[in-house]
Amino acid sequence: MKYFFYTCFGILITGLSLAVAFSFFVPSYIQKKIKSSVRESCDSCYFEAGNVAISVFSPQLWVFHDLRFTGGNPEVSSYDVHIDEVALDVNLRMLWDQHLHIARLHITNPTVTMTEGEKRSEGNREKTLKFKVENIRLTNGTFTYVRNYKGTHALLHMTNVEAKTQIFGNEEDLAGKPLIVNSSLVLEQSGKIDLDIYTYIIPEGPLTVDANIRIKDQDLGKLTSFFRPNAGVILEGKMLSGIGTVKVRGTTLDAAVTSTFKDLRIRVEKEVERSSIEAFFENIGIALDVNKENVSKSAEDRTRKVTITREPEERVVGFILRGLKEAALKVARAD
């Protein structure tokens, strides 16, 4: 009996020692492995995590706290990401190869700043880390878009960002698979926006994107922080409701917008050079005079459609926003 007790005690001590060693050395190894993979696949990227918690009994369950990730060139395009917590269920083979497979990913309190400069990328010469992520959920995000253009500095803030999608990645077996993203956010601390996007993870043909956006109670004046630095344009009024649909097929975009607004006004600062104003409005071909409200109009009169062509090197997000902007301004001009 005494020997049995000593054996059990020895097994317990050994198990506790292994658990302590596991909880200390494995998270440290994982951080080093991820840093190494990031450096190998992206020369301009940086990764750091405050700590990593891993279950001894379920070693595939990881939780990162205070995670930081940066990369890119501010003169072209860069990003700065800080996340309070990332919980994931991983395939452990990533510890010895360059394939990252995550079965479940939950991101809590991310703060993302994306900066876009004037210069264009000369091409990606960096290695690409192969990855596949399933069941992605993002909670309480904050996103800031910064546009530095011709000496101006414009900001667009999004808060309360919630998003989810089933699968994302760049591994070969995802070619032709659909990517469906459902999200909601608050733009410049006003109103509520719901955004649904349908596209393909790895397109097998021409670019295909379907997007649906719904806006409610948006204070347009809050958007002046973005439009004023770019072109001296000051917006006033409120969008009571808005629905926008976008279909991108290759280099062609069809957009339709139905919106209801009141107290709408667009002003241009006198000190801004005319050339910059013309550059801002040249792709819509309309004057600055708009209807003050359209609450009493029919749905047909509050709807306008446009078809535009993508410019060389124009980014997809900018292309979609341009289509929505043109359709929305046509609504504002509708007689």
- Cβ neighbours of 220 (radius 10 Å): 21
Q: What is the pLDDT of residue 94?
A: 56
Mean pLDDT of 273-302: 61
Asked if residue 138 has pLDDT above 90, the reply is yes
pLDDT band at 9 (very low <50, low <70, confident <90, very high): very low
In the numeric block, the tokens 């369950």 are attached to: 61
DSSP labels for 84-107? Answer: EEEEEEE-GGGGTSSEEEEEEEEE
Residue 293 CA, distance from chain mean position: 32
Burial class for 332, CB neighbours closer than 10 Å (0-12, 13-18, 19+)? buried
Pick from 252, 253, 241: which is nearest to 303 by CA? 241
What's the pLDDT tens digit per position in 313-322? 787 887 898 8
pLDDT band at 122 (very low <50, low <70, confident <90, very high): low
Q: What is the pLDDT of residue 186?
A: 95
Q: What is the pLDDT of residue 208?
A: 93
pLDDT band at 165 (very low <50, low <70, confident <90, very high): very high
pLDDT above 90 covers a percentage of the chain that reads 27
Asked if residue 328 has pLDDT above 60, the reply is yes
Residue 191 and residue 185 in contact, taking contact as beta carbons nearer than 8 Å? no
Backbone CA torsion sign across 252, 307, 214, 288: positive
CA torsion 319→321→327→331, rounded to 10°?
-170
pLDDT band at 307 (very low <50, low <70, confident <90, very high): very high
Q: What is the pLDDT of residue 199?
A: 92
DSSP labels for 268-312? Answer: E-TTS-HHHHHHHHTTT---S---S--TTS-TTTTEEEEEEEPPT
Phi-psi region of 151 (alpha: psi -120 to 50; beta: other; left: phi over 0): left
**Sequence-distant (≥ 6) Cβ neighbours of residue 104 within 8 angstroms:** 87, 88, 89, 134, 135
d(CA 143, CA 186): 10
What's the pLDDT tens digit per position in 277-289? 445 444 443 445 6
**Which of residues 223 and 9 earns the better pLDDT score?**
223
pLDDT band at 53 (very low <50, low <70, confident <90, very high): confident
pLDDT above 70 covers a percentage of the chain that reads 73
Mean pLDDT of 69-81: 83
pLDDT band at 96 (very low <50, low <70, confident <90, very high): low
Residue 334 and residue 302 in contact, taking contact as beta carbons nearer than 8 Å? yes
d(CA 308, CA 321): 11
- Cβ neighbours of 302 (radius 10 Å): 20
Residue 101 CA, distance from chain mean position: 21
Pick from 231, 74, 228: which is nearest to 156 by CA? 228
pLDDT band at 1 (very low <50, low <70, confident <90, very high): low
